[in-house]
């Protein structure tokens, strides 16, 4: 594959995640108008309930399947395209998703300012996906190879045959799978409810409430860049996981305990840097290095857990929102706390047996 073809294929793969980032926040950004159109409350919008609940569930499940197919196809493809920089290539997926999360609130605010139909934001996502699909069909991909870049195949295969599957590695795999759920749930919940939290709890106007999501997205982009630079050169992934989860927990506690404009602004940025700055991709990298002979299977397991978060978190928050929006942020604090515990367990087990290749 030529360098030009490699770049074209990479752009198409990343563009999918730019649209995916828009899709993550598009319902939350249009929650008010959708609740009016569907004649439901915020809980109804969170559950994506329309006049026909069967149709709503069908398309919700279809969207979840599409997201799983996207993850399971893109991550292995990027690892084959950039075998020497797999961690960086994976983390950059989050950068493009964050760009989408940043652009969508700006687009929605522009439509609202000029009193245009809110549906143009949805149609823009559809248009980008159709165009990218036509380009992606013409791209070429590298042939699948083994995990091989620094040693001859025979020597590597010999080493791989002697990698034992110990009970501690199994526990480590289970904890990392839980972390896949937790890491997705933490930032997914914030991206969905930050605007509503700003307007209902902090009593911001809609423009400032939407600005919190934009600031959060800027933080996630910066976090991705910093993570990509440091994790390749200075800090091991397991330590970065612990640092990110602790910082995101502290920021969520501050956001919940002190619901003011400046605290919300700073906390949104910090949460974006930590919880949405590539920590989920780091968890996948750690898990793949723990089980180097089954990277494809590991990717599927890990993102199945994150997909479950995308499905269950809206259900949980729909129930909690009937009590109050304020309680939703405490729920996210609980989730972030579990993430810290998972990171500590991963760090402890990896230091005991040195089962993780950083």
Residue 271 is assigned to a structural domain of this protein? yes
**Residue 304, pLDDT score:** 84
Per the structure block, which two tokens stand in for 43?
């809980």
CATH of the domain at 281: 1.20.1250.20
Phi and psi based region of residue 115 (left: phi greater than 0; alpha: psi -120 to 50; beta: remaining): left
User: Is position 148 within any domain?
Assistant: no
**Full domain range(s) for residue 89:** 3-139+158-353
Establish if 152 belongs to a structural domain.
no
235-266: b (≥16 Cβ within 10 Å) or e: ebbbbbbbbbbbbbbbbbbbbbeebeeebbbe
Instruction: For residue 101, tell me if it sits in a domain.
Output: yes
**CA nearest to 173, candidates 352, 2, 1, 342:** 342
143: DSSP letter? P
Please check whether residue 349 lies inside any domain of the structure: yes
Distances (CA, A) of 228 to 12, 116, 135, 286: 20, 39, 28, 14
Overall domain count for the chain: 1
Has residue 145 been placed in a domain?
Answer: no
Rounded to 10 degrees, the C-alpha dihedral 179/182/187/189 comes to 170
CA 33 to chain centre: 26
pLDDT (0 to 100) of residue 147 = 47
Query: What is the C-alpha R_g of the chain?
Result: 21
Q: What pLDDT was estimated at residue 252?
A: 96
Q: Is residue 231 part of a domain?
A: yes
8 A C-beta contact, residue 248 and residue 275: yes
Q: Specify the pLDDT at position 235.
A: 85
Q: What pLDDT sits at residue 86? A: 75
Measured distance CA(42)–CA(268) in Å, rounded: 21
Token pair of 135 as six digits:
């380009």
Q: Is the dihedral of CA 289, 345, 240, 195 positive or negative?
A: positive
- pLDDT per residue of the chain (358 residues) written in tens, 0 to 9: 788 888 999 999 999 999 988 887 787 777 777 777 766 666 666 665 447 566 666 776 777 677 778 887 888 788 778 877 777 788 888 889 878 888 888 898 899 888 888 889 999 999 999 999 999 888 888 765 544 444 445 444 444 455 567 888 899 999 999 999 999 999 889 888 998 999 999 999 988 998 898 898 889 889 988 888 888 678 888 999 999 999 999 999 999 999 999 999 999 999 999 988 889 988 988 887 788 777 778 888 898 888 788 778 888 998 998 898 999 999 999 999 999 999 999 999 887 655 444 4
Residue 235 falls within a domain, yes or no?
Answer: yes
């Amino acid at each position: 594959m030529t360098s030009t073809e490699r770049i074209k294929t990479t752009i198409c793969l990343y563009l999918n995640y730019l649209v995916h980032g828009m899709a993550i926040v598009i319902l939350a950004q249009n929650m008010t108008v959708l609740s009016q159109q569907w004649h439901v409350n915020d809980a109804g919008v969170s559950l994506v309930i329309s006049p026909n609940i069967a149709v709503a569930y069908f398309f919700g499940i279809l969207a979840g399947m599409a997201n799983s197919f996207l993850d399971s196809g893109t991550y292995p493809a990027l690892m084959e395209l950039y075998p020497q920089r797999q961690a960086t290539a994976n983390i950059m997926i989050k950068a493009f998703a964050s760009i989408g999360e940043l652009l969508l609130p700006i687009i929605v605010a522009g439509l609202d300012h000029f009193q245009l139909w809110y549906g143009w934001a949805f149609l823009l996502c559809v248009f980008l996906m159709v165009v990218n699909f036509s380009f992606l069909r013409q791209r070429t991909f590298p042939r699948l190879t083994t995990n091989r870049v620094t040693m001859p195949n025979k020597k590597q295969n010999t080493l791989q045959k002697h990698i034992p599957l110990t009970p501690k590695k199994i526990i480590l795999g289970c904890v990392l799978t839980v972390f896949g759920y937790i890491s997705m749930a933490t930032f997914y919940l914030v991206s969905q409810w930050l605007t509503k939290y700003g307007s209902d709890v902090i009593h911001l106007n809609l423009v400032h409430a939407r600005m919190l999501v934009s600031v959060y997205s800027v933080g996630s982009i910066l976090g991705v860049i910093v993570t990509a630079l440091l994790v390749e050169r200075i800090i091991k992934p397991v330590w970065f996981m612990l640092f990110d989860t602790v910082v995101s927990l502290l920021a969520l506690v501050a956001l919940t305990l002190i619901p003011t404009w400046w605290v919300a602004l700073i906390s949104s940025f910090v949460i974006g840097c930590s919880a949405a700055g590539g920590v989920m991709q780091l968890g996948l990298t750690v898990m793949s290095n723990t089980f180097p002979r089954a990277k494809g299977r590991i990717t599927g397991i890990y993102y199945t857990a994150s997909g479950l978060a995308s499905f269950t978190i809206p259900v949980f928050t729909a129930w909690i929102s009937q009590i109050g929006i304020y309680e939703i942020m405490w729920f996210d604090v609980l989730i972030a706390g579990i993430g810290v515990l998972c990171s500590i367990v991963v760090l402890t087990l990896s230091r005991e047996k040195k089962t993780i290749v950083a």
